[in-house]
C-alpha cells in the first residue's frame, strides 16, 4: 500500500469519517420501521461525514480548496490544489440498509487528479491510488481485468433515478445496445464502488451519465493507476465537466464506447 504523507492524510480522514458512518449505518435498520422513515437521519449522517472530512483535510493541508457534494465549492488560498469530496456515495443503498456505499476523496493538483481514496466503512474495504505509485486494495496491488471481449465481461452502469427523467430514454437505448453484446450488466448503486470494482478487476467496464465530479474523481486515478482507461463517452478527457464516464481495460473500454456510440 502507498505510504506517502499525502496518502496517510487521506486514509486517516476516510477512516475517521467512516467510523461515524458505520455507527449511523447500524441505526438505519431500526429507523426503517418508524413512520417518519430514515431520510432525515441519512441526510444528517451525510453532513456529519462531510464535516469530519473537511475538518481533517483542512487541518492537514491548510489552504487547499474543496469541491463537496453537500457544501459545494470552497475556495482555498492555494489555487493549485482542490479536494473532491463525496462523504456518502451510495446514499440510497445506505438508506435501505444495503452495505454498498463509500467515502470518496480525491486530490486535484494543477487541473489533474493525482490521488484518490475510496473507503467502504460497512465492509472495511479501502482502495487507494496515487499518480505514478499504483493502485491498491487492502494493501494488495490492483490491476484491471484481462478479458478482451464484452461477451465475456461483466459491466457496471448507473441507472438514472426518478428525478432524472431526461436521461431515461437515452439510458434505455444504451442499455439495449450493451445488453446485446455484454455477458453481464450490474447496477451497484455507488459510482465510486463501480470504479473501484473496475480497478480491482472484479468488473470489466463501467459507464454512466449525469454523474457528479466528486462521485468519480477518486475512481478516475484509481482505474488509470491499475492499468485501465477512463474517458468521457466521446472518448475525451472531460469526465468531470461533462458529467459522464466510461472505464475499463483497453479492449473493453474501446468496445463499450463503440456500443454506446451506436446506441
Which residues have CB under 8 Å from 69's CB, separation 6+? Answer: 46, 50, 85, 86, 87, 88, 212, 214
Task: Find out whether 260 is annotated in a ligand binding site.
Answer: no
In terms of Cβ atoms closer than 10 Å to its own Cβ (0-12, 13-18, 19+), residue 75 is exposed
Q: Is 88 annotated as a binding residue?
A: yes
Q: Is 56 annotated as a binding residue?
A: no
Is 110 marked as binding a ligand? no
Closest CA relative to residue 208, chosen from 250, 158, 242, 169: 158
DSSP H helices, the chain, are: 5-31, 39-60, 91-95, 168-179, 191-199, 213-225, 239-242, 250-262
Is 164 in contact with 210 (CB distance < 8 Å)?
yes
The response to whether 204 counts as a known ligand-binding position is no
- Walk across the sheet containing 134-137 and list its strands: 72-74, 64-68, 78-89, 102-109, 112-120, 125-130, 134-137, 140-141
Cell numbers describing residue 176 = 439495449
Would you say 16 and 52 are in contact if contact means Cβ atoms under 8 Å apart? yes
Distance, in Å, from the CA atom of 224 to the CA atom of 139, rounded to the nearest integer, reads: 18
C-alpha distances out from residue 177 to 82, 130, 170, 172, Å: 37, 34, 11, 9
Q: Is the sign of the CA dihedral 11, 15, 21, 25 positive or negative?
A: positive
Residue 134 forms beta bridges with which residues?
130
User: Binding-site residues, please?
Assistant: 69, 86, 88-89, 215
Residue ranges at the known binding site for Mg(2+)? 69, 86, 88-89, 215
Amino acid at each position: 500500500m502507498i505510504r506517502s504523507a499525502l496518502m496517510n492524510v487521506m486514509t486517516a480522514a476516510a477512516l475517521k469519517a467512516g467510523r461515524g458512518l458505520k455507527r449511523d449505518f447500524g441505526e438505519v435498520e431500526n429507523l426503517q420501521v418508524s413512520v417518519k422513515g430514515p431520510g432525515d437521519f441519512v441526510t444528517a449522517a451525510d453532513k456529519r461525514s462531510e464535516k469530519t472530512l473537511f475538518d481533517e483535510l483542512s487541518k492537514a493541508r491548510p489552504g487547499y480548496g474543496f469541491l463537496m457534494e453537500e457544501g459545494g465549492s470552497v475556495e482555498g488560498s492555494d489555487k493549485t490544489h482542490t479536494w473532491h469530496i463525496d462523504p456518502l456515495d451510495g446514499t440510497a443503498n445506505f438508506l435501505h440498509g444495503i452495505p454498498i456505499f463509500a467515502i470518496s476523496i480525491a486530490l486535484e493538483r494543477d487541473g489533474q487528479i493525482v490521488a484518490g481514496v475510496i473507503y467502504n466503512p460497512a465492509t472495511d474495504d479501502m482502495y487507494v491510488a496515487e499518480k505514478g505509485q499504483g493502485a491498491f486494495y487492502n494493501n494488495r496491488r490492483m490491476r484491471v481485468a484481462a478479458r478482451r471481449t464484452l461477451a465475456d465481461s461483466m459491466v457496471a452502469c448507473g441507472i438514472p433515478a426518478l428525478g432524472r427523467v431526461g436521461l431515461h430514454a437515452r439510458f434505455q437505448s444504451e442499455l439495449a445496445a450493451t445488453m446485446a453484446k455484454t455477458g453481464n450488466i450490474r447496477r451497484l448503486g455507488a459510482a465510486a464502488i463501480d470504479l473501484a470494482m473496475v480497478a480491482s478487476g472484479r468488473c470489466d467496464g463501467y459507464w454512466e451519465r449525469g454523474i457528479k465530479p466528486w462521485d468519480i474523481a477518486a475512481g478516475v486515478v484509481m482505474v488509470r493507476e491499475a492499468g485501465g482507461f477512463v474517458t468521457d463517452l466521446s472518448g475525451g478527457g472531460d469526465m468531470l465537466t461533462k458529467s459522464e464516464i466510461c472505464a475499463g481495460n483497453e479492449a473493453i473500454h474501446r468496445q463499450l464506447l463503440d456500443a454506446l456510440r451506436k446506441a
